[in-house]
Chains A and B, each alone.
Chain A
Amino acid sequence: MNDRHLLSIADLGREGIEDVMRTADSFREVAGRSIPRVPALRGKTVATLFFEASTRTRLSFETAAKRLSADVMSFAASSSSLEKGESLRDTVETIDAMGVDAMVVRHRSSGVPAQVTAWTSACVINAGDGQHEHPTQALLDCYTIREALAQRRGTEDSQNGADFAGLRIGIVGDVKHSRVARSNVLAFSALGAEVVLVAPRTLMPPSLDGWPVKATADLDSVIPDLDVVYLLRIQAERAGQVLLPNLDEYHERYGLTRERSNRLAAGALVMHPGPMIRGVEIAPEVADLPSSLVTRQVRNGVFIRSAVLFHLLGAADSGEAIDA
């Protein structure tokens, strides 16, 4: 990794993404041991600062840190002084003063992890900021695709990022408000995939200048050409606003219905960052098809987050620690 922090997939580039995925392979192996734990980050403290509730992502990071023997400190906004009017800066500096090596930051506002870097000497990991990015989600998505492609070839051996060359990935849904989409566009295209965004214009970013993507409002026109369908979460509150008439119409135009899934190419993969709303983004029966990787994404999240923590905190002084 080129930096002390992971704020954006752009911090990594192709090489960084491939490094993290390779390290995640080691942690997948560790997970299979009777004691799935290595001493790589013994004595290090990882603080999770979740200003926005997300039990799944927080548990994933905390599990990842514990498997590396790090101490974990957990901060949730609801239990904090933020509600009493403390500024973001004071909160961060207070936690910094307790002596932490990494801060894993989740916030409903875009840019907070970047702001936090100015107020702490710890490594900062973006665990999802507003509508900006969610880099570890994108890494685990890349890892999950890589794994599925390797299995499709009937091998455990991955060709790493090379698998993505020429892969056609459709990201479907509320791209405009999605941090997952922003990170995945960067990650998928860095690895050489072709990305097409599929959304009504009201849910598309106002400008796609500089985005290495194609865009369309018509899911049916691209469905047969996709190797991966990546469905984004639609927030129910968007419907009924001017952005979207209602969820039924959304499902009609952009949901992965049984009919649409039958038009997918053989072996095409279906992904979703969760939590899924069955019947809106995806038909219930489609979500349970073998092509769906949704639960595998969750499992891989732990390996990827261990790998990210290891790269930022451990790689320098304990390169051999995984084998200990």
Chain B
Amino acid sequence: MPEVLIRGGTIVDEQGERRGDVLVSGVGIVAVDSTIDAPAGAAVVDAGGCIVAPGLVDLHTHLREPGAEVAETVETGCRAASLGGYTAVVAMPNTEPAIDNPSIARDVLELGRNALAQVAVAAAITVGRQGVHLTPMAELAALGIHLFTDDGAGVQDASLMRQALEYAGDLGIVLAQHCQDDSLAAGGHMHEGAWSSRLGIAGQPALAEESMLARDLALVRLTRSPMHFLHLSTAGSVELVRRAKAEGLPVTAEVTPHHLSLTHAEVASYDSAFKVNPPLREEADVEALRVGLEQGVIDAVATDHAPHAPEKKQVPFDEAPPGMLGLETALAVVSSAMSGRLGWVDIFAACSWRPARIGRLDPASGGRQGGPVAPGAAANLVVFDPTAEWSVDPSRLASRSRNTPYAGRQLTGKVRHTLLEGEPVVIDGEAQR
């Protein structure tokens, strides 16, 4: 592979923000300086007016393979990821069959080997995500799997959840919860509130999320095992995590770009692109989530990229599956939602090195994600133009599905280039393979 010189950008990593050129050779960064002359034969990548940062890391991606290849594959999902500036994704285990045993986990990891982003895997907590029997967590952990979740559903049984936490604690792995009490949420297709009442759609109350979160925080207090909370969506959840962290409980939390940017009012169109779990909430929730991210109560942004084939979404709202695309729009949406609250270092912290750490993909854990942008570090990098304006055209997305909630909207900020292990996989907004 030829050397690559990323020229003229502003470097953003955990060390801060500074002007600089970055020279990549092989799979690593070999030089960072205020100006570097292009070595003979090096490819020069223009980063003028752009931010050069460690590649983004998504803790929450539904790649849909195996089982729903009509909606997404590891290949297409990772292409979408690289176009969104991601150099690593954690594949969720709610595939068909579920990632609940080492052989399926190995299959998915194998599919990811040649993809345009590093593919890590989260495995299920219970066999078949049925909430009854624990998966062979030790065997799965031996494959390097660090996050375990029944995402798509919460673990309903409190006693089982306690046992899972105790067992996981011994293994040094982290359980991640999709907080949703089914007895409160059942039959709900959107947030319960003013809009659900007006639109005549059964709602899920905020309490359905908060009650399971409160239960799990009590279980963490009891077991002292660490937990990660997926896609928190309510002001009450932010408050619960704030108090848990103040108390010193070993917990982390993520928020999605859509919960930072959209409210339940979108559902007034009955467009099933806006159907998602947890549902889009109220203005006050969006505000609380932004504050939570700003204050570090929420550690990371995760997309919950959830592709669904068009014909699955072109049905009545209450029959449509929940979920929306996220990878290709995330950074633009998050940087706009957080503008004026977070500087670039904190935005990339939430999208790159903090999630890398939660997923144990960071250098300190033996991984290659999350920076820094320094000689000797892995060349997993994104070049982001924060001022580029573009309109989201669903038909031009790399995902195999079209269910973006931002169709036709004008976004500010676009990923220009992405380097994966030194390879320019996205150049000028085009995937290279």
Tell me, in angstroms, the Cα distance from A182 to B199 when the chains sit together. Answer: 9
Most chain A CB within 10 A, of B192, B200, B205, B271, is at B200
Tell me, in angstroms, the Cα distance from A189 to B200 when the chains sit together. Answer: 19
Chain A: minimal CB distance from B314 (Å): 4
A-binding segment of B49-57, B218-226, B315-323: B315-323
Set of chain B residues within 8 Å of A112, measured between Cβ atoms: 270, 316
Evaluate contact between B314 and A87: CB separation under 8 angstroms.
yes
Tell me, in angstroms, the Cα distance from A43 to B127 when the chains sit together. Answer: 61
Set of chain A residues within 8 Å of B270, measured between Cβ atoms: 110-112, 114-115
Tell me, in angstroms, the Cα distance from A184 to B112 when the chains sit together. Answer: 56
Evaluate contact between A109 and B193: CB separation under 8 angstroms.
no
Chain B: minimal CB distance from A207 (Å): 5
A:78-113 near B, CB below 8 Å: 87-89, 107, 109-112
Evaluate contact between B200 and A110: CB separation under 8 angstroms.
yes
Q: Size class of B's contact patch?
A: 20 to 34
A157 contacts chain B at the CB level, 8 A cutoff: no
Tell me, in angstroms, the Cα distance from A87 to B269 when the chains sit together. Answer: 19
Set of chain A residues within 8 Å of B317, measured between Cβ atoms: 109-111, 115
Chain A: minimal CB distance from B301 (Å): 29
B70 contacts chain A at the CB level, 8 A cutoff: no
Tell me, in angstroms, the Cα distance from A33 to B316 when the chains sit together. Answer: 42
Chain A: minimal CB distance from B272 (Å): 8
Chain A: minimal CB distance from B22 (Å): 46
B311 contacts chain A at the CB level, 8 A cutoff: yes
Chain A: minimal CB distance from B129 (Å): 25
A168 contacts chain B at the CB level, 8 A cutoff: no
Most chain A CB within 10 A, of B192, B198, B311, B317, is at B198
A208 contacts chain B at the CB level, 8 A cutoff: yes
Nearest B residue (CB) for A205: B197
B194 contacts chain A at the CB level, 8 A cutoff: yes
Set of chain B residues within 8 Å of A177, measured between Cβ atoms: 200
Set of chain B residues within 8 Å of A89, measured between Cβ atoms: 311, 314-315
Chain B: minimal CB distance from A236 (Å): 19
Nearest A residue (CB) for B267: A111
Chain B: minimal CB distance from A238 (Å): 13
Evaluate contact between B314 and A206: CB separation under 8 angstroms.
no
A194 contacts chain B at the CB level, 8 A cutoff: no
A:173-229 near B, CB below 8 Å: 177, 179, 182, 205-211
Which residues of B pack against A, CB within 8 Å? 192-194, 196-203, 205, 269-271, 311, 314-319
Q: A111-B317, A182-B200 are in contact. List 15 more A-B contacts (CB 8 A).
A: A87-B311, A88-B315, A89-B315, A110-B316, A112-B316, A130-B201, A130-B316, A130-B318, A131-B200, A132-B199, A132-B201, A133-B200, A206-B193, A206-B203, A207-B193
